[in-house]
Structure 1
């Protein structure tokens, strides 16, 4: 009985045609220099590249960093109030409202923008208004991510979110 390897014919091999280069790619330095002004050029090698890269990186690193742009308190208060109003209007919509999905999408965009902008601000991290807003937005986003944009928020969660919105708004009025 023949082995399975002898029954299979070997794959056909292709022969590659060599590439003919009519001109050399790199300039070759000759011993005879026809032009006394120009010097022969050597190819750019790895050592030259690494030294150039190191010098450029050191120059960039030594530049002073631009200070982070801190958001002003007025912007924080204004944008937080806008997000609070958007949250209240969105979660109070009826389940049968045809615009609920687009309102949830707008709320998610606004909350993602608000969180991305103010989460980095160290001066805001300890404020009660930030803490309550962040908690409420986290609960809302988690609900809509898990259950979809048209799923109504359960009553207990809705009450807790609205309470957090109220305390955040009161803290904003007090400057906290």
Structure 2
């Protein structure tokens, strides 16, 4: 889409760059018969330029609408149902592996929610609080904070918490960030299984 917009701007900018500059009728131009002829030819070229620019703008709008319309169609699409029911088991058990698995599961659920999904705000608030509690509790233990699963989970928590801090609990995770987080969750779950 950026390419289409840049091409459109370049096209319009290029059309404007080659317009002749005329001082006919201005205070700087001397009033002669030649000035009147230049003024008339200038008016004719203004009509030609207007026709060219309007047709160019219409073509640019047609090209741009081909890219913009699908983007708005995605926003209007109904929200997808997330996998499984909304979590109700928020909070820590004080067992690292159980809590790490639960936090990853809840983060996966919160990350998967689409725009307009039921309970998106409540899920985001509960998930954010659980992530804060998890990091606050387990970073005090050197035998836990040195684990690969903890450091990867800590990184993912920072990304998701940063999203909530920037956009709030009602805004879903953008697709690019969602894909990256879901991949990280898979890696964290594998690390937890290996370390148990």
* TM-score normalised per structure 2: 0.50
Runs of 4+ residues over 3 Å off in structure 1: none
Q: Does 1:155 align with 2:150?
A: no
Which residue is 2:105 aligned to? 85
Q: Does 1:97 align with 2:117?
A: yes
Which residue is 2:157 aligned to? 137
Q: Does 1:75 align with 2:102?
A: no
Partner SS for 1:174: helix
Q: Does 1:118 align with 2:138?
A: yes
After alignment, is 132-141 or 118-127 more displaced? Answer: 118-127
* TM-score normalised per structure 1: 0.56
Partner SS for 2:117: coil
Structure with higher helix content: 2
Distance in 2, Cα, partners of 1:167 & 1:121: 22
1:8-23 pair list within 5 angstroms? none
1:36-55 pair list within 5 angstroms? none
Number of residue-to-residue matches in the alignment: 104
CA distances 1:100-126 after superposition (whole Å, capped 9, x unpaired): 000000101110110101111111222
CA distances 1:63-121 after superposition (whole Å, capped 9, x unpaired): xxxxxxxxx9x810000111111111111112112310000001011101101011111
Distance in 1, Cα, partners of 2:148 & 2:104: 15
User: Any stretches of 5+ residues in structure 1 without a counterpart?
Assistant: 1-71
Which residue is 2:75 aligned to? none
User: Any stretches of 5+ residues in structure 2 without a counterpart?
Assistant: 1-92
Which residue is 1:39 aligned to? none
**CA RMSD across the alignment:** 1.7
Whose Rg is larger? Answer: 1
